[in-house]
Amino acid sequence: MWDFATLLMEQRGKDGWALVDVGDVEAFLADPPKSRKRRLGVLRQFFAHARKQRLVLTDPTKTLSAKEPCGFRGQTLTIGQQRQLLRRWTTDPDVHPHEALVGMLALPHGAACAEVRCLTIDDMNTARQTVHLDGRPAAVPLDPVSWSVLHRALEHRAALGTYNRAHHRHPLWLPAPHDPQHPARRPAPP
């Protein structure tokens, strides 16, 4: 409340609570956007009390919403930075295939880490060059560059010979040689 009163007196030139309007409240809530919900709650409590005490005639917080805009609010990359990353992921042989895959799914296709983490072989459609990302209603079509990056990551994992038991439906990664599931460890058919 002290910050709100200071804003009213020093920046808005208002010296009474009865002079406060919606614009003043919005100006106060806009300063640090992350604390909008908390600050609006405090102001609502104050103006409800002030109205009961007949210090104000109307409550300027009544029509305001504590909802924050949905969607991404973080810092974004410039077009030049995006191009530089895409070039790095597609042409630099020193880039780890997993970095390239996560980057190529995230930047052009908007995939979240959780969506990429749940990706399995069953989620890939090689005929249509699509992947089904967990939580999305439809498969995501991949451009030829993203598809080649995906295959490079699969080849890298196949060369490692690792096996992820969490993806038991159809493992995205091949079993390790010491694993009983590995083809070399299975008994030969009679």
**Residue-range domains of the chain with CATH:** 1-73 (1.10.150), 79-176 (no CATH)
- Positive or negative, the CA dihedral 122, 128, 134, 137 is negative
Highest mean pLDDT among 69-78, 116-125, 128-137, 153-162: 128-137
Structure-token pair, residue 73: 């609010």
Average pLDDT taken over every residue of the chain: 80
Q: Which of 21-30, 140-149, 172-181 has the highest mean pLDDT?
A: 140-149
Quote the pLDDT of residue 87: 93
Average confidence (pLDDT) over 67-77: 71
Top-ranked range on mean pLDDT: pick from 28-42, 51-65, 92-106, 172-186: 92-106
C-alpha distances (whole Å) from 86 to each of 65, 89, 189 are 39, 5, 47
pLDDT at residue 185 in the model: 47
Tell whether the model's pLDDT for residue 136 goes beyond 50. yes
pLDDT of residue 17 exceeding 80:
yes
User: What's the pLDDT band for 184 if we cut at 50, 70, 90?
Assistant: very low
The average pLDDT across 60-70 equals: 76
Average pLDDT of the residues in 25-40: 82
The pLDDT confidence band at residue 94, using thresholds 50, 70 and 90, is very high
Q: What DSSP designation does 145 have?
A: H
Q: Phi and psi (nearest 5°) for 172?
A: -70, -25
What's the confidence (pLDDT) of residue 164? 58
* pLDDT beyond 50 at 186: no
Q: What is the CA radius of gyration of the chain?
A: 28
Residue 111: Cβ-neighbour burial (10 angstroms; 0-12, 13-18, 19+): buried
> What pLDDT does residue 176 have?
46
Note whether 142 and 89 are within 8 A (CB). Answer: no
pTM (predicted TM-score): 0.53
Instruction: Pick 66 or 10 by higher pLDDT.
Output: 10
For residue 27, the model assigns a pLDDT of 85
